[in-house]
């Protein structure tokens, strides 16, 4: 018989099985497989910690998002937000699903080209585009979303030199009733700056104003904020139609739909509270369809959804390093996944599940990562079953931002594995080795 792990005796109120005034006690079910691939096998084959991405989940989520919008509006185009997860294999799944690329740097722009995206299907956002970046985007016929007047004048200059008419849009920020307001990007609607920018582009005639863009924030819990935003963009489009007789090719409402993760301090779990794709789609398309825009010349509706399309598809699989008691008697579990691999633990209370069924007795625990720094906390307080050293666990909904905001800090980044729709595994990013990291370092002669 296997020896049971020793646990120092600890007196605590037993709540398993008994309803309290808050309802039934929490249960944490085991996640023993991902898309029917046993977690134990994944760790044995690819090591721990490990990122796992479900291709099936991406495609199913994408299908639901497309359906929500396509059933409500005739012309819809998704553009994959590279910064949300820029692993090539992931981007290519989205491109296969018909998504264009939405990029915010030259690095991401070049990555999109490398993934075979046609220049004319790349949307170039962000405040930092050099003259060289702009020249490249103009040359490739990409859509450039102008962030500020300095950028507008730079594009006008370059367009003159290249003798080309760049396709541009302006990014618009506005009050959507959500605090804090994101007004650092683009031109403001309420104070007339956006309308001013539109007029300057139209009168100049060096640029083709193809669309209007906004990105009102991220993890937006209010579908109504999108309705307000779309109504304001549609108003600008209508004024443009009236004054210049020009119909925009598209209106780009950006990204920001909430994923089903739970924000820190939220009272209810995200999966019970965040709006569905249908609710977002209803808000956005009704504002567009009910606007004054000529119904025979409706613009394409572009969506730059990132987080809500990829968060659910990503898992982190890891191993318990040790258990200990803190000075106040609280239980602490140290695991091999830290904030270096899970940047989103600063915002979310991620669900963590044991990889095999365990006792139903949960105890409030703190889950620490392996890094030698105080802020390396995955969960401040979670009712968690007792896992012993070497046990495995699965963290859900980590597909968004972790594989781009990860840090090579203290240790190396592990393998990323994609499980395809037939259940086959593929390494889509190899675990880093010492050589990968020091390859770009240089030693001055006097230290050689």
Nearer of residues 100 and 393 to ligand PLP, judged by Cβ: 100
Which residue has tokens 């859900």? 396
**Does residue 255 interact with ligand PLP by CB under 6 A?**
yes
Q: Which of 55, 96, 87 lies closest to 421, judged by CA?
A: 55
Q: Which of 28, 42, 104, 212 binds ligand PLP (CB under 6 A)?
A: 104
The one segment of 45-53, 81-89, 91-99, 146-154 that binds ligand PLP by CB under 6 A? 81-89
Rounded Cα distance, 157 and 309, in Å: 38
Is there a contact between 168 and 146 (Cβ–Cβ < 8 Å)? yes
Site string for ligand PLP, 318-337 (x = CB under 6 A): --------------------
Nearer of residues 145 and 429 to ligand PLP, judged by Cβ: 145
Q: CB count, 10 Å around CB of 408?
A: 11
Rounded Cα distance, 352 and 315, in Å: 10
How is residue 99 written in tokens? 């998504």
**Does residue 307 interact with ligand PLP by CB under 6 A?**
yes
Q: Which of 418, 411, 399, 437 lies closest to 338, judged by CA?
A: 411
Is there a contact between 329 and 363 (Cβ–Cβ < 8 Å)? no
**Does residue 302 interact with ligand PLP by CB under 6 A?**
no
Query: Which stretches of 163-222 are DSSP H helices?
Result: 193-204
Q: Which of 66, 83, 111, 227 binds ligand PLP (CB under 6 A)?
A: 83
**Does residue 369 interact with ligand PLP by CB under 6 A?**
no
Nearer of residues 306 and 369 to ligand PLP, judged by Cβ: 306
**Does residue 305 interact with ligand PLP by CB under 6 A?**
yes
**Does residue 166 interact with ligand PLP by CB under 6 A?**
no
Rounded Cα distance, 44 and 32, in Å: 14
Write down the least CB distance from residue 147 to ligand PLP, Å: 10
Q: Which of 48, 57, 61, 84 binds ligand PLP (CB under 6 A)?
A: 84
Cis amide bond preceding 236, omega within 30: no
Is there a contact between 307 and 61 (Cβ–Cβ < 8 Å)? no
**Does residue 173 interact with ligand PLP by CB under 6 A?**
no
The one segment of 79-87, 314-322, 324-332, 354-362 that binds ligand PLP by CB under 6 A? 79-87
* Footprint of ligand PLP (CB under 6 A): 81, 83-84, 102, 104, 125, 215, 218, 254-257, 304-307, 400
């Amino acid at each position: 018989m296997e020896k049971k792990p020793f646990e120092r005796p600890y007196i605590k109120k037993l709540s398993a099985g008994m309803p309290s005034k808050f309802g039934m006690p929490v249960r944490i079910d085991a996640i023993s497989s991902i898309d029917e691939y046993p977690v134990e096998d994944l760790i044995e084959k690819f090591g721990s910690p490990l990122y796992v991405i479900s291709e099936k989940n991406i495609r199913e989520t994408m299908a639901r998002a497309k359906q929500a919008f396509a059933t409500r509006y005739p012309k819809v185009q998704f553009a994959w937000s590279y910064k949300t997860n820029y692993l090539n294999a992931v981007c290519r799944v989205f491109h296969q699903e018909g998504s264009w690329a939405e990029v915010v740097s030259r690095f991401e722009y070049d990555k999109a080209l490398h993934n075979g995206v046609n220049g004319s299907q790349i949307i170039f956002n962000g405040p930092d585009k050099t003259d060289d970046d702009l020249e490249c985007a103009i040359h490739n016929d990409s859509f450039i979303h102008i962030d500020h007047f300095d950028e507008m004048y730079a594009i006008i200059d370059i367009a003159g030199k290249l003798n080309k008419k760049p396709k541009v849009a302006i990014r618009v920020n506005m009050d959507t009733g959500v605090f804090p307001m994101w007004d650092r990007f683009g031109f403001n609607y309420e104070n007339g700056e956006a309308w001013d920018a539109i007029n300057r582009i139209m009168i100049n005639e060096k640029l083709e104003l193809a669309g209007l863009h906004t990105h009102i924030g991220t993890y937006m819990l209010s579908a109504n904020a999108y309705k307000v935003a779309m109504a304001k963009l549609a108003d600008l489009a209508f004024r443009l139609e009236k004054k210049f007789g020009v119909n925009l090719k598209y209106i780009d409402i950006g990204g920001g739909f909430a994923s089903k993760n739970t924000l820190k301090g939220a009272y209810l779990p995200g999966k019970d509270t965040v709006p569905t794709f249908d609710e977002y789609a209803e808000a956005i398309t009704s504002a567009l369809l009910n606007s004054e825009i000529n119904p025979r010349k409706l613009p394409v509706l572009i969506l730059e959804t990132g987080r809500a399309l990829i968060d659910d598809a990503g898992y982190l699989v890891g191993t318990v390093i040790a258990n200990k008691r803190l000075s106040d008697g609280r239980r602490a579990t140290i695991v091999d996944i830290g904030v270096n691999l899970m940047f989103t633990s600063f915002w979310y209370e991620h669900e963590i599940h044991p990889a095999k069924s365990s006792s139903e007795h949960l105890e409030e625990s703190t889950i620490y990562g392996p890094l030698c720094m105080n802020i390396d906390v995955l969960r401040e307080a979670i009712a968690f079953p007792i896992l012993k050293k070497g046990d495995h666990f699965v963290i859900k909904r980590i597909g968004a931002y972790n594989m781009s905001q990860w840090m090579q800090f203290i240790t190396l980044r592990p393998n990323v594995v994609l499980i395809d729709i037939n259940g086959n595994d593929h390494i889509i990013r190899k675990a880093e080795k010492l050589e990968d990291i020091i390859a770009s370092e240089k030693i001055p002669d006097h230290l050689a």
